Structure 1
């Protein structure tokens, strides 16, 4: 009989106080949550360049990993693009592990103890996320009966990142706070409004008039941030609906607001840097100039205004809702919310969507702009019948731009754009796009390597044969090494792995 991990037991005890009716459903959801996180972890162990794994092999339907200390790990052969939870246990020197946190603890690798705790949080929070779901018929409904509001689509993403083992890790969030702020629990969140002297703020773009009062600005503050980081109370507030990133919320009938949230969710601490606020208006204006180069197939959400009290812990960004790019009868849907819908089960639809996404992504890459087009940043505009028409991209902070490529196409690069997003390294540009779009958005929607391969084969058939397309079709597919990054406390920035190319099967 499985003994609950510390994180599982602690969350169960909190739930017994704040929402006892969810207790039985939470307990019932734990085995599936363990398998979901273990599947993500096993994918990383099999495919990421972890320094303490000496050899990878296996035969038939099993993978064998030999550690540098001589121990052996056995588990199912890992499809690097699968999203279903198909790993229920992994054997370390013959001992079966169904709990990813215990497996990571007993591997005894550098920085593994902290990551094991994250995995425990991920399992517990994922079980709570699943336990709180009402029956959702949207996956089988006709498009005309799909959600009306943009936040309703966002809140259908229950399991978080499809490939990150820390897909639902929310350290520092109690059970009550997860229920109150987690988008999958469908709450309304009242943001605080903190008055700050205008001369103590850096403002980019146009700050909303209703959030100005003489010599003061009112900065929207997430209630978790107010309680745990700023240690203050905000009496005023505006009601909003949390989107899948948790820190970004939709204001009813209005724009989206990104708040500072200084805790680690999956890979990153979710604050808002002063530099990103300073560059936001210039970056938004630059992005708008790209739309004509895509024949109207891509829209970029505009940053309306951003402000910071010269602290990453106290800042906010307003940007327009992607919904403004949908005509009456059309649906604007985050790609991450498409998994499990009837559309994602249609081979013809997947091929159409892949062709649209690759046409846009490769065209911008040729021009010199690599989007981080994962399932959260990338949205698709669907017709009333569900056909993919156009794309919408949001959150420009992590794109990469090539000054040399832009110059070849006579596209001006504003001086205000931060140095960190500039690179002429072709590998860095391709990694950014291919890792997010193909190994992220498209793979997560397809749900397996065979389905992804079929969609890509159809999609690339008529695309211009550029060097970038050749690399996409013939070379191993780059993807962020998410577990390696969490186990490399001394290293900063992205680290990368190379997955078997779904079109060729090759990897290195």
Structure 2
């Protein structure tokens, strides 16, 4: 049914030069990678408010999408919370498609050609990510000790985004050299910039100063492809984390670098707004976390700098490891799916209760966290019991001055996109990232998520936010719509069926 796409073929040729031992494994992983990306795409087609879909019809054997141009698209029933690759093919006017990139291109919607290319990259890179894993018989069974080792276990990327592994601009050799799932050590570089030309907040260590110049840490991919070489020197070795552009140093400091490539939805640079707000926001959020009775810690931003461009900027942040006692483990919530813990209904209910307790408490106070599986981490006891949470990367949270003042809290001196009193915006931010994101990705299906939520919410304080979570549809970002309508600024949203509705 499928002939290799040009992107798949090109990556195979690059792999033959860089790692010929992986070529056969890469080819063997391609069908599964196509199904994984197609499953994510079908979720979007079935549930997002795409203007090119006229109506959705529940058929006797499979749902159908009636397109605005008169064509019909058929596929399996779509569980919006499922994380397994259950869609191996769909039919567009009777023609069978197993390749999400070819399907998207043939849909012919505005911007679909560019999105199709991104999906092709997602398939090829996902196959490479899977091919680079140790065979099961050789993989170590014990749990990692370091937080960055847990991040290496997340192979498939975002559980619901069709661009889960899209890395345009990265060759096969560069993906092997920089992708956390390939377990590399990356040598960071520094670019010297006159201090007077920089915006600096917080502390900047002596080792990143050279007289009147500041040394800005730079990812080697950024130095080669965006900064085009120029003055730079080697700095320190680091382990890449899930976001690719954030890396852990040997002393556990995390370095967030600018990486001006489009990964999933966004170009990963660092704005002057983020640098200017970083330390103020960090200080405020860490103080606010004290109101959670020890259930939440927020990693502090130590320093942030930009050299007049979002392409040349960096943040230094403390490691979540700082909040783990001896015998405890810290791991991103996205890594939980690589363990057997979520298979226990009681464990999943307890974790869900912890996450909702913290998230709803902060929301009531006036802070909506972007608590997806990458930003939210959990501290586990030696036996796997979830003890408390850690949150990192405050760049996309939302603050409500009105809610903060209602609790006698003085809002931080910040303006701009971080600040809003709009109830819908605040709830979307938390519910879409935490419930439709982190918890759904951990549960792996709608029925399992519903059971965990039902067991957890009965113990939570009754608040208007909890009522909104229980009674309304569940908001989540319309990730495919956003890629197909780049002219629309900001986030776009869709409403998923509330998983609790099936239990009522």
Shorter-chain TM-score range = over 0.9
* 2:229 equivalent among 225, 228, 232: 232
Q: Who is 2:13 aligned against?
A: 13
1:423 aligns with 2:420: yes
1:237 CA displacement: 2.3
1:332 CA displacement: 0.7
* Partner SS, residue 204 of structure 2: coil
Give the 4+ runs in structure 1 shifted more than 2 A: 135-141, 233-237
1:55 aligns with 2:52: no
Q: Who is 2:81 aligned against?
A: 81
Contact 2:365–2:407 (CA<8 Å) still a contact in 1? yes
* 1:406 equivalent among 399, 404, 407: 404
Per-residue CA deviations over 1:417-441 (Å, capped at 9, x if unaligned) read 2321111111110000000000000
* 2:162 equivalent among 160, 165, 189: 165
Contact 1:374–1:437 (CA<8 Å) still a contact in 2? yes
Aligned length: 502
1:282 CA displacement: 0.3
CA distance in 2, matches of 1:471, 1:307: 39
Q: Who is 2:263 aligned against?
A: 265
Contact 1:400–1:422 (CA<8 Å) still a contact in 2? yes
CA distance in 2, matches of 1:61, 1:147: 44
1:140 CA displacement: 9.5
Q: Which segment is superposed worse, 491-500 or 209-218?
A: 209-218
1:485 CA displacement: 0.2
User: Counterparts in 2 of 1:17-416, with a 5 A limit?
Assistant: 17-135=17-135, 141=141, 145-233=142-230, 234-415=232-413
Q: Who is 2:485 aligned against?
A: 488
CA distance in 2, matches of 1:195, 1:72: 57
CA distance in 2, matches of 1:137, 1:184: 18
1:210 CA displacement: 1.3
CA distance in 1, matches of 2:443, 2:57: 26
**Would the alpha carbon gap of residues 188 and 222 (structure 1) be closer, same or farther in structure 2, given more than 3 Å must change?**
same
1:133 CA displacement: 0.3
1:270 CA displacement: 0.3
Contact 2:89–2:96 (CA<8 Å) still a contact in 1? yes
Per-residue CA deviations over 1:362-392 (Å, capped at 9, x if unaligned) read 0111111100000000000001100000000
Listed as ranges, the gaps of 5+ residues in structure 2 are none
Contact 1:301–1:394 (CA<8 Å) still a contact in 2? yes
Per-residue CA deviations over 1:111-140 (Å, capped at 9, x if unaligned) read 100000000000000000000001368999
* Partner SS, residue 130 of structure 1: helix
Contact 2:252–2:321 (CA<8 Å) still a contact in 1? no
* Partner SS, residue 406 of structure 1: helix
